[in-house]
Structure 1
Amino acid sequence: MIAKRVLLAFFISLPFIFQSCDTKQNYDALQDGDLLFIVGKSQSEQTNAIKKSTSKLDEIPFSHVGIVKFEDENVYVIEATPSDGIIQTLLYEYMQKAEKRNGKPLVAVGRVKPEYQYLVPLAVEKAGDQLGRPYDYAYEEGNDAYYCSELVRFAYLDSLRNPIFPAIAMTFKNRETGETEAYWTKHFAGLQQEIPEGKPGTNPADMAKSPVIDIVHTYY
């Protein structure tokens, strides 16, 4: 009976053992303030629409990004999510949001270049100060809400308080067909506003190609 209990306890603990190992592996490649770009699992219309509007077929369609934060003995990712707004997520849980290729998560680590490293502590602090704020469904700069790459853009400010990631003209059109994605038409109609096509903003796929960062590691 005792042997059975020990064996049962071992199997129950296995997921936690593997989770710990996986987290440690991911931990070794990271630094405070790193940006984790992921290809989100295609289980929502919004994620699919983001991919199609920001990436071409021959590109890795990063659809989400968060900021790494080390706290005590844990590694977190500060992120803006449609479901919960600005939250702080354990690294392991964040990694589970990514699609996989050959069993490996489609996650890339972006790190601001050496000349911007002095900005990291304030960027992490500023992102953390936004915890609890709502998600920016309007994709509009200047309100009190943030979408994922907008959070990053306004966390990383230079000594003059200007974003080091310049704004780009947003598009909600399919990069392959040039037609506005049906999801975005429905989304903005529900908000009773026009699609902000061409307005200043950002997105994870283009941010991952920014000249102010280096992609220092990929998990795929």
Structure 2
Amino acid sequence: MLSTRSIILFFCSLALLSHSCNTSSNFSELKEGDLLFVVGKSQSEQTKAIKGSTSKKGDIPYSHVGIVRFVEKDVYVIEATPSGGVIQTLLYEFMQKAEKVEGKPLIAVGRLKPEYQYLVPRAVERAANQLGRPYDYAFDEENDDYYCSELVRFSYLDSLENPIFPPIAMTFKNRETGETEAYWKRHFAGLQLEIPEGKPGTNPADLSKSPAIDIVHRYY
């Protein structure tokens, strides 16, 4: 006999299909706490800049990441977005953020390795506790705001309350040309801040390569 969660995910899968998420796979494979890495639609200037400064030629240019959460009959993704801050989005709506190839969304599922799975419930709870927080336009780990991968980094803590995803030195330079992206120059000038080149941080593309997770599925 099917469990309640299996039934919920079955109907969620049907909903996804009805919203033109044309994949050959079943969303019942998702587990709470999974990380969804997204190649965002390129119309946004910020999305283009993120791709340019975090991905090299040949890399999959993930520009966004969110955390899967089950709430009663629905499957959500907790995410930090420039337009809404930290929000909770229905899964099928989250899928619409992705670029598509032959109708399939460019999204990969990252799952904590077995030795870290015990951290998932508390990590999801931490992320949910940040709902309503502003977006971190300054990309500053010392404030109380969050950008997408920063929310992930500070939600997944070990038993000593340390992030399991270590920081990297941020760069806002195009990884092909070595030049600072024009968007970032305007962005930080508008905030009257210096570009935090080399400061500790994170990004979806590098996070997707973390040794603490496995990419267990791709929807493309």
Asked if Structure 1 and Structure 2 have the same fold, meaning a TM-score greater than 0.5 normalized by the shorter chain, the answer is yes
Aligned residue type for 1:135: Y
1:166 equivalent in structure 2: 166
- The structure-2 alpha-carbon separation of the partners of 1:17 and 1:47, relative to structure 1 and needing over 3 Å to count, comes to closer
Identity across aligned pairs (percent)?
Answer: 76
Deviations 1:115-170 (A, max 9, x none): 10000000000000000000000000021100000000000000000000000000
Structure 1 CA distance, aligned partners of 2:119 and 2:91?
22
Q: Is the 8 A contact 1:153 1:165 kept in 2?
A: yes
Aligned residue type for 2:174: N
Structure 2 CA distance, aligned partners of 1:83 and 1:27?
27
TM-score normalised per structure 1: 0.90
Which structure has the greater CA radius of gyration?
1
1:50 equivalent in structure 2: 50
Q: Quick check: 1:107 aligned with 2:107?
A: yes
Q: Is the 8 A contact 2:81 2:87 kept in 1?
A: yes
Q: Is the 8 A contact 1:27 1:75 kept in 2?
A: no
Deviations 1:63-90 (A, max 9, x none): 0000000111110000000000000000
Aligned residue type for 1:74: D
| CA RMSD after TM alignment | 2.0
Structure 2 CA distance, aligned partners of 1:90 and 1:201?
27
2:95 equivalent in structure 1: 95
Structure 2 CA distance, aligned partners of 1:202 and 1:133?
18
Structure 1 regions of 5+ residues with no counterpart? 1-13
2:19 equivalent in structure 1: 19
Report the secondary structure of 2:18's partner residue: helix
TM-score normalised per structure 2: 0.90
Aligned residue type for 1:62: Y
2:193 equivalent in structure 1: 193
- The structure-2 alpha-carbon separation of the partners of 1:148 and 1:17, relative to structure 1 and needing over 3 Å to count, comes to closer
Structure 2 CA distance, aligned partners of 1:56 and 1:85?
28
Structure 2 regions of 5+ residues with no counterpart? 1-13
Give how far 1:19 is off. Answer: 3.5
Q: Is the 8 A contact 1:153 1:164 kept in 2?
A: yes
- The structure-2 alpha-carbon separation of the partners of 1:16 and 1:57, relative to structure 1 and needing over 3 Å to count, comes to closer
Q: Is the 8 A contact 2:16 2:92 kept in 1?
A: no
